[in-house]
């Protein structure tokens, strides 16, 4: 007989397919040495999508303004580097903490709503922050953004090469590290209580879960991961600009996550590459035509494939870990 405890552990055990994923990701470095910068930005967006999955997929908090945290991380990392704090890892950590503080400030506002009002509040916060950054050009560089970022070599030894070898492993390291951290979080009692909140907030309240505190902690963690993603983006591109805060980016990351599959962590890791590779292929198109593709994808996923790419894979290959029972 299966007990609840053992099913939960079972669900969070490391599967062989996971090693395949990470080895495949690492081998991109050797197989496509000319496309390292694309691979790096895919990993950055994967990390960003992971941060969204924590609150959307596991805690059931909807965010249409998640780029706010990404953007804060970017600008913070860029400003640190421009002011002489050029050690990248601590820079990204500080940027992540800054985004986390922002999450703790706006969290109480966002988390008292659900449904459409929540969508609206997150959208509004994102837009207000974008407009504020646009106006505060002394801090953000306005339309021009912040360029000319110079970083110390990674670990004091690896120079930031022109073809992005160091950047690739830097982004890979952050992605793997934070992914493992999130895996531990969602398998913890805290993570399981988040999934309980997603399924039925009222019942969780009945059994004594401090709802607001749990959600706020998850929101802060998500803000931190998104902030680190933004910081890594600014550091490897040596640039932070307004589009990092834009609603477009918030929608993009949502589409990536939906496309991959919500509430599975690997959905974020698969949705981001699929979306960005297709987008890359279509980069010569008129951007308006690209909207046909995104629109069609969204409609298709909601109408026919609610679990996203990963849901389709699961249906064929058996279940991956960390997922909700379908």
Partner 1 sequence: MQEILSATSFIAIYGLSYGVVLFLISIGLVVTMGLMRVVNMAHGVFAAWGGYIMVNMMNAWGASYYVAMVGAILVIALVSVLVERIFFFKLYGAPELEQALLTIGLAFIGVASLNLAFGPDIVAARLPAELGASIDFAGRSVQAYRLFIIAFGAAVMLVLWYIFDRTSFGARLRAAVDNRGMAAAVGINVRRLFSIAFALGSGLAALGSAIGVAVLPLEPMYPLKYLVLILIVVAMSGAGNVKLAAGVSLGLGVVDTAGRYFHPEIGSFLIYIAMLVYLMARGGKLAAVHAR
Query: What residues between 121 and 150 interact with partner 1 by CB under 8 A?
Result: 121, 123-125, 127-128, 131-132, 135
Q: How far is CA 23 from CA 46, 50, 175, 285, in A?
A: 16, 19, 13, 32
**CB neighbours of 217 closer than 8 A, spacing ≥ 6?**
190
Contact letters (x/-) for partner 1, 172-211, by CB under 8 A?
A: ----------------------------------------
- Cα–Cα dist 169/154, whole Å: 10
Phi-psi region of 141 (alpha: psi -120 to 50; beta: other; left: phi over 0): left
Which part of the chain contacts partner 1 (CB under 8 A), choosing from 93-101, 225-233, 295-303, 310-318?
A: 295-303
Write down the least CB distance from residue 70 to partner 1, Å: 19
- Can you tell me which of 9, 120, 139, 184 binds partner 1, judged by CB under 8 A? 120
Which part of the chain contacts partner 1 (CB under 8 A), choosing from 71-79, 157-165, 291-299, 310-318?
A: 291-299
Tell me the H-state helices in 188-285: 189-199, 201-206, 211-237, 247-260, 266-281
Q: Is 114 in the site for partner 1 (CB under 8 A)?
A: yes
- Can you tell me which of 14, 24, 31, 109 binds partner 1, judged by CB under 8 A? 109
Q: Is 326 in the site for partner 1 (CB under 8 A)?
A: no
Using CA atoms of 91, 96, 102, 104 in order, give the dihedral in degrees to the nearest 10: -130
- The count of residues interacting with partner 1 (CB under 8 A) is 41
Query: What residues between 251 and 280 interact with partner 1 by CB under 8 A?
Result: 251, 254-255, 258
Q: Phi, psi at residue 150, to the nearest 5°?
A: -120, 130
The packing angle between helices 165-187 and 36-53, to 10°, is: 20
Q: Phi, psi at residue 47, to the nearest 5°?
A: -65, -40
Write down the least CB distance from residue 286 to partner 1, Å: 8
Nearer to partner 1, 171 or 253 (CB): 253
Q: For residue 243, what are its two tokens?
A: 């589009």
Residues engaged in binding partner 1 (CB under 8 A): 56, 62, 64, 109, 112-117, 119-121, 123-125, 127-128, 131-132, 135, 251, 254-255, 258, 286, 288-292, 294-299, 301-303, 306
């Amino acid at each position: 007989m299966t007990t609840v405890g053992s099913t939960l552990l079972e669900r969070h055990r490391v599967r062989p397919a996971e090693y395949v994923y990470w080895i495949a990701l690492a081998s991109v470095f050797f197989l496509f040495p000319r496309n390292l910068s694309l691979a790096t930005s895919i990993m950055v967006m994967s990390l960003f999508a992971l941060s969204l999955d924590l609150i959307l997929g596991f805690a059931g908090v909807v965010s249409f303004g998640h780029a706010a945290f990404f953007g804060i991380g970017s600008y913070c990392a860029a400003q640190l580097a421009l002011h002489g704090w050029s050690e990248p890892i601590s820079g990204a950590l500080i940027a992540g903490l800054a985004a986390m503080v922002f999450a703790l400030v706006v969290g109480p506002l966002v988390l008292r709503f659900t449904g459409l009002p929540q969508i609206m509040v997150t959208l509004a916060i994102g837009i207000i922050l974008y407009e504020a950054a646009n106006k505060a050009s002394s801090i953000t560089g306005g339309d021009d953004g912040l360029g000319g970022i110079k970083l110390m070599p990674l670990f004091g030894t690896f120079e930031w090469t022109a073809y992005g070898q160091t950047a690739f492993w830097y982004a890979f390291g952050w992605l793997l590290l934070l992914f493992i951290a999130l895996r531990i979080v969602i398998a913890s009692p805290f993570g399981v209580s988040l999934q309980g909140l997603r399924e039925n907030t009222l019942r969780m309240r009945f059994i004594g879960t401090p709802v607001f505190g749990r959600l706020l902690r998850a929101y802060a963690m998500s803000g931190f991961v998104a902030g680190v993603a933004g910081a890594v983006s600014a550091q490897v591109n040596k640039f932070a600009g307004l589009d990092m805060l834009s609603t477009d980016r918030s929608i993009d990351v949502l589409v990536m996550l939906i496309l991959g599959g919500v509430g599975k962590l690997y959905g974020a890791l698969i949705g981001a590459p699929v979306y960005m590779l297709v987008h890359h292929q279509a980069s010569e198109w008129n951007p308006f035509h690209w909207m046909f593709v995104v629109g069609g994808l969204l409609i298709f996923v909601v109408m026919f494939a609610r679990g996203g790419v990963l849901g389709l894979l699961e249906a064929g290959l058996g279940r991956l870990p960390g997922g909700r029972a379908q």
